[in-house]
Amino acid sequence: MRIFEGLFVGISAIRSNKLRSLLTMLGIIIGVASVLAMISIGDGAKEIVLQDAQKLGGVNQFTMFRSSYKRVGSRWMPNRSNEHFEYEDVLAIEAECPSVKVAVPRIPEWRGVLIQTADGSEARSGYNGVNASFSDAMDWGVQEGRFISDEDMEYKAKVCVLGTEVAFNLFGNKSPLNKEIKIGRGGDRYDRWGRRDQTRIAERFTVIGVMNPRGRSLRFGWNLDDMIFLPLTTAQERFTGNDYITMLSVHAKTVEDVPKAIEEVKAVLRKRHNNQDDFFTLRDMREGMAQLEKISRVIKIALGSIAGFSLLVGGIGIMNMMLVAVTERTREIGLRKALGAKSFDILIQFLIESISMCLIGGAIGVGLGYLAGEGMALLAVKIVKLVPDWPSVISLEWVIISVSFSALIGISFGLYPALKASALSPIEALRTE
């Protein structure tokens, strides 16, 4: 009963001095609201990066690409190796690497390719030569039609699947299915008089599908909807003229399996390529995520420290008000003690009043923090125009931490005034004017 009685008396005291109590709680309110607002924006940024990683296939993947230059330490050096990825490497990786879920071969031409339709519409885009597993591995389905099949790969079919932006640029709101387009061979070439070499635009493809909208990659800047997908074997025969593969995207079964999968894949490639595993560059998606985690941790520590100072100031205000309350209610304390209240009862009464004030301030701060986070997220979209939506993420963990810290402030800064009140002599208290 002591606790409930003390809670009732404490809340009654706060209600009887509303303005003073609100001003006293202001430091707690601002501290909790500021930390939740900033954390929500920081976690929202983390969510954006995670979504961007998912667009590119997920954090459980790593990419290997063969280029004419490779990074050695801090320098880029010519790649003088005669080794190249081949489709047999893909089959060997999937068969011999238990930590690998799927390996996706790619021949990318990212931009600058001229695409034409029969009615004369043109668009600049890029293409990727891929196999049938690309759609499932990337968790990227088709909006209309179908994706590339194993039969398309086997027969080197001249078919293609369009990104939504390419489809709109070429055909508007009309369905592009079964329509024919012409795709340039890796960009334009010009003669010495500046005229475009039309022989570079000679390959005809039939549209068999349109991908779901995917958006732009923040990390690399590619518009994934501005892309065309072809059977890998067709791209090799019609565009590159060899059996080489430029990129391999390897998806491990889990994020934890990635390091093991990397070693397994390197072992397979060494066995198949004259004991060489340095003719390609490897990019692990987890590296960017690890850097993000470090930055996020530093931001949270910095924001937590700032909010901690604000809560400290709020705690000092709580102590000041409670000391004033003890002075103002000295006769009340004496009367309660004369009627049988023990020092512990007085201690609990003032301590609960302090804690109640901090908890109420913390609750108001949580509400304001949520509203401030939503407002800052809308402002962030206006400032950072690369993303259409900036999520405001307020986790239950941080709400609990903020309210608990408020309660701790109430205990810490309310304890001294409560002890002072409980130590008053009833006779001396009753004599106080």
Interval 193-248: pLDDT, tens: 444 444 444 589 999 999 999 887 766 667 889 999 999 999 999 888 888 999 99
| pTM of this structure | 0.68
Which of 150, 174, 153 lies closest to 162, judged by CA? Answer: 174
How many CB atoms neighbour CB 394 within 10 A?
19
CA gap 354, 362 in Å, rounded: 12
How many CB atoms neighbour CB 216 within 10 A?
18
Determine how β-strand 122-130 pairs with β-strand 227-231. parallel
Residues 6+ apart with CB under 8 A from 96: 264, 268
Q: Where are the beta strands (DSSP E) in 151-232?
A: 159-162, 180-184, 201-211, 227-231
Among 52-66, 119-133, 204-218, the minimum mean pLDDT is found in 52-66
Task: Provide the sign of the torsion angle of the four alpha carbons 304, 309, 314, 319, taken in this order.
Answer: positive
- Give 183 or 46, the one with higher predicted confidence: 183
| Residue-wise pLDDT tens digits, 287-343 | 666 666 666 677 667 766 776 677 777 778 778 777 777 777 777 777 777 777 777
* 187, two tokens: 């960009």
- So what's the pLDDT on residue 195? 41
Burial of 78: CB neighbours in 10 Å, binned 0-12, 13-18, 19+: exposed
- Taking CA atoms, 310 is separated from 220, 297, 375, 412, in Å, by 39, 20, 21, 15
* 307, two tokens: 């909010």
* Residue-averaged pLDDT of the chain: 80
Residue 212: DSSP 8-state: P
Does residue 418 contact residue 350 with C-beta atoms inside 8 Å? yes
Residues found in the chain:
433
| Residue-wise pLDDT tens digits, 10-43 | 677 677 777 777 777 887 888 888 888 877 877 7
* 308, two tokens: 């901690």
| Residue-wise pLDDT tens digits, 68-79 | 777 676 777 777
In this predicted structure, the answer to whether residue 392 has a pLDDT above a threshold of 80 is no
- So what's the pLDDT on residue 198? 42
CA gap 44, 56 in Å, rounded: 19
